[in-house]
C-alpha cells in the first residue's frame, strides 16, 4: 500500500521507518525549508534512526497526499489546525484515510485533534488516531510494544490495524475515541508532573501521582462523554512507563529541567495540553487538582514547592 507520513521530526521519521519495515511504499513529507528534512535527504539519518533507500522524501504536500491511500500526520498538535487548512484545499482528500499520530488538545478550545480535523477537513473525511506507548530508541533496538488505533469508523480502525500490525507493534482496536484522545494528550501532562517530582527529588511520589492522576482524568473523560475506564488502557496508563519513567520522554525531561531551571528546547506537548485542560475543567465543571497545580506553576508562575504543599493540604476525602 502507498503510505505518506506528513511531519519528519522524531516520531514522523520513525513512522516512515516502521511503515516501510512492515512492507508499504512510503513517502516522508517535510515542509519546505525543514532542517529535519534537509538532513534526512543529505544523510538518510537523524539523531534517532537511519532510513532505508526505499523511503522517498518530498516537500510537496500535493505529491505526498495524492500518492497515498493512508496518510499519517505527526506534527506538533498546536499546528494541526493551520496545517489542515492547507491540506483541505487538496483534491481527493475524502478518498483517503488520515491517521493522526500525535498527542495533544488544542490550547484555547480544549478540542480533541479529531474534532479539529473534522472542522477543517469536513465531516466526510476519514480519520483515526494511532496512540500508545513507544520510543524510537526502544523500537530501533527491536523491543516490541503495544499500541491502539481508533476511529469513529470501525472500517478505518480495522483497515489501518491490518495494514500496520506486526511483531514489533501489537495493535488493539480502540473503542473510545474521546477517552483515547484525552488519555493520550494527558499522559504528557502526568509526564511533566513526574519530571517535576524527579527534579525535586520526590520520585517516590510517582506511584501516588499515577493513582490520583488517572482518577482525576477519568472524571473529565466521563464528563466529556467517554468511558472512564479508557484511562487505564494503552493510550494513558499504558504509556506511563514510556513517559513518567523513561529517560527518553520529552515531557518528563521538560518537567525535570523546569524545576532545575534548565531550558528545554524540544517539543513537550503536555505544556499546551495543561492550558487546554484548564479550559475543559471550567467548561465541564470538573475538579482537576493535579492539572490545576501544573497550570499554577507553568502559567501563573507559582513556586513549585509551594504548589505541592498546597496539594497536600487539601481537605481529606474518600479515595474513590
Ligand X SMILES: O=C(CO)COP(=O)(O)O
Annotated catalytic residues are 187
Asked whether residue 8 is marked as a ligand-binding residue, the answer is yes
Residue 88 or 202 with smaller CB distance to ligand NDP = 88
281 in contact with ligand X (CB under 6 A): no
Asked whether residue 266 is marked as a ligand-binding residue, the answer is yes
> What residues does 57 pair with on adjacent strands?
28
Question: Is 7 within 8 Å of 74 (Cβ atoms)?
Answer: yes
Question: Is 248 within 8 Å of 135 (Cβ atoms)?
Answer: yes
The entry of ligand NDP, ligand X, none that residue 76 binds, CB within 5 to 8 Å by partner kind = ligand NDP
The entry of ligand NDP, ligand X, none that residue 79 binds, CB within 5 to 8 Å by partner kind = ligand NDP
Distance CA 36, CA 164 (A): 24
236 in contact with ligand X (CB under 6 A): no
Residue 74 or 281 with smaller CB distance to ligand NDP = 74
**Nine-digit cell string for 278:** 484548564
User: What residue number has its CB nearest to ligand NDP?
Assistant: 9
Sole binder of ligand X in the list 239, 244, 275, 293 (CB under 6 A): 239
Q: Could you tell me the smallest distance in angstroms from the CB atom of residue 145 to ligand NDP?
A: 8
Q: What DSSP line would sit under 9-37, residue for residue?
A: SHHHHHHHHHHHHTT-EEEEE--TT-HHH
CA 133 to chain centre: 10
Per-position b or e across 265-291, b if 16+ CB within 10 A of its CB = eebbbbbbbbbbbbbbbeeeebebebb
Restricted to residues 247-276, the positions that interact with ligand X (CB under 6 A) are 248-251
Distance CA 287, CA 268 (A): 24
78 in contact with ligand X (CB under 6 A): no
Residues that bind ligand NDP (CB under 6 A): 7-12, 30-31, 34, 36-37, 74-77, 79, 82-83, 101-104, 131, 134, 267, 269
Handedness of CA 152, 157, 159, 163 (dihedral sign): positive
Q: Could you tell me the smallest distance in angstroms from the CB atom of residue 248 to ligand X?
A: 6
Asked whether residue 10 is marked as a ligand-binding residue, the answer is yes
151 in contact with ligand X (CB under 6 A): no
Distance CA 29, CA 16 (A): 10
- CB burial of residue 186 (10 Å; 0-12, 13-18, 19+): buried
CA atoms within 13 A on the CB side of 183: 35
150 in contact with ligand X (CB under 6 A): no
3-class SS letters over 212-269 = HHHHHHHHHHHHCCCCHHHHHCCCCHHHHHHHHCCCCCHHHHHHHHHHHCCCCCCCCC
135 in contact with ligand X (CB under 6 A): yes
114 in contact with ligand X (CB under 6 A): no
Restricted to residues 186-215, the positions that interact with ligand X (CB under 6 A) are 188, 191
Asked whether residue 7 is marked as a ligand-binding residue, the answer is yes
The entry of ligand X, ligand NDP, none that residue 77 binds, CB within 5 to 8 Å by partner kind = ligand NDP
74 in contact with ligand X (CB under 6 A): no
103 in contact with ligand X (CB under 6 A): yes
The entry of ligand X, ligand NDP, none that residue 83 binds, CB within 5 to 8 Å by partner kind = ligand NDP
Sole binder of ligand X in the list 9, 128, 133, 174 (CB under 6 A): 133
In the complex, the residues that contact ligand X under the rule CB under 6 A are 103, 133-135, 188, 191, 239, 242-243, 248-251
- Could you list the residues known to form a binding site for NAD(+), using ranges: 7-12, 266
Amino acid at each position: 500500500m502507498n503510505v505518506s507520513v506528513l511531519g519528519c521530526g522524531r516520531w514522523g521519521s520513525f513512522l516512515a521507518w516502521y511503515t516501510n519495515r512492515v512492507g508499504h511504499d512510503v513517502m516522508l513529507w517535510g515542509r519546505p525549508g525543514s532542517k529535519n528534512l534537509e538532513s534526512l535527504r543529505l544523510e538518510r539519518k537523524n539523531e534517532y534512526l537511519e532510513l532505508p533507500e526505499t523511503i522517498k522524501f518530498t516537500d510537496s504536500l500535493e505529491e505526498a497526499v495524492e500518492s497515498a491511500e493512508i496518510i499519517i500526520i505527526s506534527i506538533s498538535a498546536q499546528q494541526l489546525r493551520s496545517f489542515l487548512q492547507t491540506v483541505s484545499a487538496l483534491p481527493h482528500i475524502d478518498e483517503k484515510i488520515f491517521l493522526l499520530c500525535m498527542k495533544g488538545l488544542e490550547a484555547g478550545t480544549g478540542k480533541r485533534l479529531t474534532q479539529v480535523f473534522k472542522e477543517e477537513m469536513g465531516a466526510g473525511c476519514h480519520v483515526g488516531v494511532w496512540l500508545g506507548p513507544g520510543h524510537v530508541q526502544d523500537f530501533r533496538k527491536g523491543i516490541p510494544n503495544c499500541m491502539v488505533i481508533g476511529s469513529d469508523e470501525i472500517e478505518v480502525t480495522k483497515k489501518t490495524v491490518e495494514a500496520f500490525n506486526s511483531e514489533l507493534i501489537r495493535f488493539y482496536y480502540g473503542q473510545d475515541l474521546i477517552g483515547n484522545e484525552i488519555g493520550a494528550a494527558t499522559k504528557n501532562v502526568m509526564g511533566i508532573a513526574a519530571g517535576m517530582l524527579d527534579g525535586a527529588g520526590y520520585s517516590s511520589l510517582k506511584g501516588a501521582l499515577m493513582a490520583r492522576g488517572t482518577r482525576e482524568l477519568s472524571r473529565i473523560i466521563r464528563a466529556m462523554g467517554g468511558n472512564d475506564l479508557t484511562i487505564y488502557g494503552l493510550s494513558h496508563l499504558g504509556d506511563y512507563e514510556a513517559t513518567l519513567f523513561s529517560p527518553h520522554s520529552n515531557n518528563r525531561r521538560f518537567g525535570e529541567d523546569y524545576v532545575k531551571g534548565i531550558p528545554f528546547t524540544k517539543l513537550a506537548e503536555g505544556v499546551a495540553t495543561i492550558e487546554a485542560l484548564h479550559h475543559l475543567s471550567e467548561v465541564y465543571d470538573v475538579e482537576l487538582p493535579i492539572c490545576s497545580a501544573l497550570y499554577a506553576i507553568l502559567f501563573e508562575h507559582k513556586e513549585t514547592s509551594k504548589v505541592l504543599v498546597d496539594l497536600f493540604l487539601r481537605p481529606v476525602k474518600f479515595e474513590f
